[in-house]
Amino acid sequence: MQKVIIIGSGPAGLLLAHYLLSRGNYQVEIYESRLDPRLAEQSNQRTFPIALQSRGLNAIEQIVGLKVALAKKGVWSQGILIHRKQGKPRQINRKMPTLLIDRNQLNLVLLENLLEKHSRELVTVKFDCSCVDINLESHEAILDHNNGERFTAKYDRLVGADGVRSQVREVLSARGDIQCQQDFIPDVYKSLHVPRIAPDKTVELAGNYLHTSTLGKGIRLVLAPQPDDWLHGTLIFSPDNNPLENCTTDEEVLAYFQENTPFIKPVMRLEDVAVLRQNPVSKILTVKCDRMHVGDRILLVGDGAHAVSPSIGQGCNASLQDAQVFSQCLARYEDKWEEALPAFTAERLSDVHALRELSDYTFPRSKPMMLEFVFRLTIGKKLRPWFPLLTNPLPMELIMESELPYSEVLKQSQGWINRVRESMQN
């Protein structure tokens, strides 16, 4: 029995724990810096919806019962409604449905299911404990309990699944074991929650589509329906263009939304605006590493190894896929980590680097390319059977409607990606 310590109980760490335990020869200890989500009041302040599509869902489906449990806490979406200031929204249907689920709910289901399925001899999750260092020579993680107590935990293998600000990655990078680059994306966001149904029940926004809208000056709104008839979403803007900055009252903010994105007018209330104003403005950091393992004992998965911009909604999908791909490597090399780890880096790195390119350059920022983008996603798609060469699929379609690896999606859509990159540089 090998003892694996996982740092971080986000989607990547928890799904990897499911996979390891399903192999039957691991004992898993998870350390998480946050409070136990089953005991703590779930804050809506920093949560946001996650869109899980085929890549993430396939990874989840391999673990018996997980997809059904998650589906109960989420909503299946058939596509996107792009709302405009006037007229009917543009509708983009997807061949493969997407599961929209709140990030806290996703974590909670992965955790509860893990603890229900496996005994405490095989898996424990210790909350309120932050990894502060690793001793690679003695194979020990050094942890701080939030009560101030410091302790160590011995491992046979250690997994850094501690997200974009990974301490495991920091330790490895300070030792020169791993090279990584970190950048902030140009946009910031605020979480937003509004009811889906108007208080007087006269208007109901679709419960099976993602709602999006542009509010001018690069400001975007994305809202995902949730099972409790709420829409959870994000308001995205550039830091020097915060639309709420000059509003001094809730009434002014409400008026801003009513003016610039009228579809939300019937459902948005003053109390929703008050919460939105209190929510922090969050920055988004991206990470690119030159490897996903160190030596024959340490693995990095999820955002810790490859955090990307959420623009195409793939960060979590890719993090879940890491767990599946690593488990396949373990199966191929009969749980010999010294062989499975380099094989994982060799197989996965090109895909996560491709995902970075796709996340940065799938959505254009210039107006002419934005118009072309919407045209090709709507009318171009319908013309494709007659004009296949003129209307080849955009990266977004290949991501959402195929299961191609990210490196293959990038290869097939390199022309578009290069054009967007050039338009941004100009």
Ligand X SMILES: Cc1cc2nc3c(=O)[nH]c(=O)nc-3n(C[C@H](O)[C@H](O)[C@H](O)COP(=O)(O)OP(=O)(O)OC[C@H]3O[C@@H](n4cnc5c(N)ncnc54)[C@H](O)[C@@H]3O)c2cc1C
The enclosing H or E element of 6 equals strand 2-7
As given in the structure block, the two tokens for residue 335 are 């749980």
Chain centroid to Cα 384, Å, comes to 31
Binding window for ligand X (CB under 6 A); candidates: 46-54, 254-262, 288-296, 355-363: 46-54
19 binds ligand X (CB under 6 A): no
279 binds ligand X (CB under 6 A): no
CA 63/CA 116 separation, integer angstroms: 13
10 binds ligand X (CB under 6 A): yes
31 binds ligand X (CB under 6 A): yes
The minimum distance between CB 156 and ligand X, in angstroms, equals: 19
225 binds ligand X (CB under 6 A): no
CA 406/CA 398 separation, integer angstroms: 9
Binding window for ligand X (CB under 6 A); candidates: 242-250, 264-272, 302-310, 356-364: 302-310
Site string for ligand X, 167-206 (x = CB under 6 A): x---------------------x-----------------
324 binds ligand X (CB under 6 A): no
409 binds ligand X (CB under 6 A): no
421 binds ligand X (CB under 6 A): no
The pairing of strands 75-83 and 90-102 is: antiparallel
Q: Which of 6, 50, 92, 221 binds ligand X (CB under 6 A)?
A: 50
319 binds ligand X (CB under 6 A): yes
Binding window for ligand X (CB under 6 A); candidates: 26-34, 81-89, 352-360, 363-371: 26-34
Identity at 134, one-letter amino acid code: I
Size of the site for ligand X (CB under 6 A): 35
SS (H, E, C) 338-400: HHHHHHHHHHHHHHHHHHHHHHHHCCCCCHHHHHHHHHHHHHHHHHCCCCCCCCCCCHHHHHH
CA 3/CA 48 separation, integer angstroms: 33
Binding window for ligand X (CB under 6 A); candidates: 3-11, 200-208, 263-271, 346-354: 3-11
Q: Which residue, 261 or 309, is less far from ligand X as judged by CB?
A: 309
Q: Using CB atoms within 10 A of its CB, is residue 292 exposed (0-12), middle (13-18) or buried (19+)? A: buried
The minimum distance between CB 308 and ligand X, in angstroms, equals: 7
Q: Which residue, 124 or 130, is less far from ligand X as judged by CB?
A: 130
223 binds ligand X (CB under 6 A): no
315 binds ligand X (CB under 6 A): yes
Q: Which residue, 32 or 360, is less far from ligand X as judged by CB?
A: 32
CA 337/CA 60 separation, integer angstroms: 22
The minimum distance between CB 189 and ligand X, in angstroms, equals: 5
As given in the structure block, the two tokens for residue 188 are 């910031």
Q: Which residue, 189 or 344, is less far from ligand X as judged by CB?
A: 189
As given in the structure block, the two tokens for residue 345 are 């880096």
359 binds ligand X (CB under 6 A): no
The phi, psi pair for 184, rounded to 5°, reads -85, 140
The minimum distance between CB 304 and ligand X, in angstroms, equals: 6
Do the beta carbons of residue 354 and residue 399 sit within 8 Å?
no
Q: Using CB atoms within 10 A of its CB, is residue 288 exposed (0-12), middle (13-18) or buried (19+)? A: middle
The minimum distance between CB 201 and ligand X, in angstroms, equals: 29
Q: Which of residues 92-151 bind ligand X (CB under 6 A)?
A: 103, 130-131
Helix boundaries (H) for 83-191:
103-117, 167-174
Q: Which of residues 367-386 bind ligand X (CB under 6 A)?
A: none
* E strand segments, 161-264: 180-195, 210-214, 220-225, 230-237
Helix 315-332, helix 337-361: angle, nearest 10: 160
364 binds ligand X (CB under 6 A): no
317 binds ligand X (CB under 6 A): yes
The minimum distance between CB 415 and ligand X, in angstroms, equals: 25
Q: Which of 163, 225, 380, 395 binds ligand X (CB under 6 A)?
A: 163
Q: Which residue, 187 or 380, is less far from ligand X as judged by CB?
A: 187
Chain centroid to Cα 184, Å, comes to 16
Q: Which of 74, 225, 310, 405 binds ligand X (CB under 6 A)?
A: 310
Do the beta carbons of residue 263 and residue 83 sit within 8 Å?
yes
Q: What residues make contact with ligand X under the rule CB under 6 A?
A: 7-13, 31-34, 48, 50-51, 56, 103, 130-131, 161-163, 167, 189, 234, 284, 302-304, 310, 313-317, 319
